[in-house]
Structure 1
Amino acid sequence: MFKSILAAFDGSEGSEAALSKAAELAILCGAELTVLTMYRHHSVLEGSMYVTNADQPDDVDAIMSNHAKATAERGAALARQAGCEKIRAFVKGGPTARTIVGFAKEHDNDLIVMGSRGLGSIEGYLLGSVSHKVTSLAQCPVLLV
């Protein structure tokens, strides 16, 4: 049925539930599971407004990228614990919804699985703004958990 499943994972409870369902489907279909974690690039002005830890780099993008890498690795580990064997993990920076959809198209994923709400703000109260946008833009099926 599915050969390549993309799980968008931000570490939230919703994305953990979605990742669990994606791993279950990947096992059932014998599909490869790709865990994708996103981070938002910050301009120099935005970066200057953040307070950073003294033992971490001052570059907000580096901090966000490192956090995203750790989150992606955690997602891959959770999928392995669920019994999924064919797993790849990626980190991308950029506008979240468009990058998820572009990544899925570029890597020939035939299903995107994601939480209906993630770590975003209150703006996406009923259906998260990212998940709503992904369902609008994606050319493959999208499963919201």
Structure 2
Amino acid sequence: MFKRILVAVDGSMTSFDALTKAIELQKLTDAEIFLLCVYKHHSLFEASLSIGRPDDMDIPDKVLSEYAKEVVNHAKELAKERGATHVRGFVKAGRPSRVIIDFAKDKGADLIVVGTKGTHSDKDGMFLGSVSHRVASHAKCPVLVV
């Protein structure tokens, strides 16, 4: 049925609900699970526009990348605690929906599992989060929205 399942995680409860469903599917199919956390890239120009400037200011990409790694590591721990096997984690920068779709294609994922709403949502996705809506609309493989 499924050989490679991509789960987009962002630290939100709905992304961890998506992980739970992916683990259930893995137990039925023995698929490999790819965990992916995507953070928005900030240019140095964007960083310079910050209102608050602490003395020891890290570049936003560095901070966001570290947070994304923590999210992926936490998701891997949760997956293993819940009996998952064959779990790999990845962190990428960019527009989340585009990165998720491209990553799925590059890794040959045959299912993408996403939460309905992540840590941020906007008016574009009134009932379904904007990222999950874009992924479901543009992915070339099936998408399970949890």
Query: Shorter chain as normaliser: what TM range?
Result: over 0.9
TM norm structure 2: 0.93
Name the CA shift for 1:82/1:44 in 2 (closer, same or farther; >3 Å).
same
CA contact (8 A) 1:24 1:82 kept: no
Q: Structure 1, residues 45-73: CA drift from partner, whole Å, max 9, x if none? A: 32120647666x52110000000001011
Instruction: Name 2:83's counterpart in structure 1.
Output: 83
Name the CA shift for 1:59/1:143 in 2 (closer, same or farther; >3 Å).
same
- The whole-number CA distance in structure 1 between the counterparts of 2:107 and 2:12 is 24
Name the CA shift for 1:128/1:30 in 2 (closer, same or farther; >3 Å).
same
Deviation of 1:116 (Å): 1.0
- The whole-number CA distance in structure 2 between the counterparts of 1:42 and 1:135 is 26
Instruction: Name 2:132's counterpart in structure 1.
Output: 131
Which structure 1 segments of 5+ residues have no match?
none
Name the CA shift for 1:51/1:81 in 2 (closer, same or farther; >3 Å).
farther
Instruction: Name 2:20's counterpart in structure 1.
Output: 20
Name the CA shift for 1:65/1:53 in 2 (closer, same or farther; >3 Å).
farther
**Deviation >3 Å, runs of 4+:** 50-55
Deviation of 1:122 (Å): 3.2
- Percent identity between the two aligned chains: 47
Name the CA shift for 1:2/1:50 in 2 (closer, same or farther; >3 Å).
farther
TM norm structure 1: 0.93
Q: Structure 1, residues 79-138: CA drift from partner, whole Å, max 9, x if none? A: 111100110000000011010000000000000001011112332231111011001110
The one-letter code matched in structure 1 to 2:111 is L
Which structure 2 segments of 5+ residues have no match?
none
Q: Aligned pair count?
A: 144
CA contact (8 A) 2:5 2:110 kept: yes
